């Protein structure tokens, strides 16, 4: 049975010191949404950006933002089911595997023979 997967991309508008030359957390959120949408078209999921310095006023997001700041994690941090899935630049293989493990069906891309 497939469950709706909700990803949260935690980060900040200012790049972390170790993340120079990497996309911003907000850019990563947009990129991740597009990549998942291409791999799992017409299947419901969500990707939401959360600023660690001004998170929504609920315990889950406040606690995760506090953990990211206190533990000096590399952001963006991708969280799903209140667990950190990736830290720093996300690896799509890990994200895709999580989706498949939760009942999502990937689209296989067939290479066309060009003559």
The CATH number of the domain holding residue 38 is 3.40.30.30
Rounded distance between C-alpha atoms, residue 18 and residue 64, angstroms: 20
Chain center to CA of 35: 10
Mean predicted lDDT score pLDDT of the chain: 89
- Helices 25-39 and 92-101: crossing angle in degrees, nearest 10, is 50
pLDDT at 14: 78
The per-residue pLDDT for range 94-113, each reduced to its tens digit, is 999 999 999 999 997 655 55
- Specify if 110 maps to a domain: no
Instruction: Look at residue 81 and tell me if it is in a domain.
Output: yes
Number of domains in the chain: 1
Q: Which tens digits make up the pLDDT trace of 7-62?
A: 999 999 876 666 667 788 899 999 999 999 999 999 999 999 999 999 999 999 99
pTM: 0.87
Task: Identify whether 115 is part of a domain.
Answer: no
The pLDDT value given to residue 2: 72
According to DSSP, the residues that pair with 84 across neighbouring strands are 79
Instruction: State whether residue 100 is helix, strand or coil.
Output: helix
């Amino acid at each position: 049975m497939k469950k709706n997967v909700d990803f949260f991309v935690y980060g900040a508008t200012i790049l972390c010191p170790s993340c120079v030359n990497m996309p911003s957390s907000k850019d990563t959120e947009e990129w991740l949404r597009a990549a998942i949408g291409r791999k799992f078209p017409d299947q419901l999921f969500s990707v939401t950006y959360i600023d660690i310095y001004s998170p929504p006023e609920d315990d889950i997001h406040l606690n995760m933002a506090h953990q990211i700041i206190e533990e000096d994690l590399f952001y963006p941090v991708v969280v799903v089911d209140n667990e950190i899935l990736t830290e720093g630049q996300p690896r799509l293989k890990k994200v895709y595997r999580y989706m498949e493990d939760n009942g999502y069906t990937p689209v296989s891309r067939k290479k066309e023979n060009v003559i």
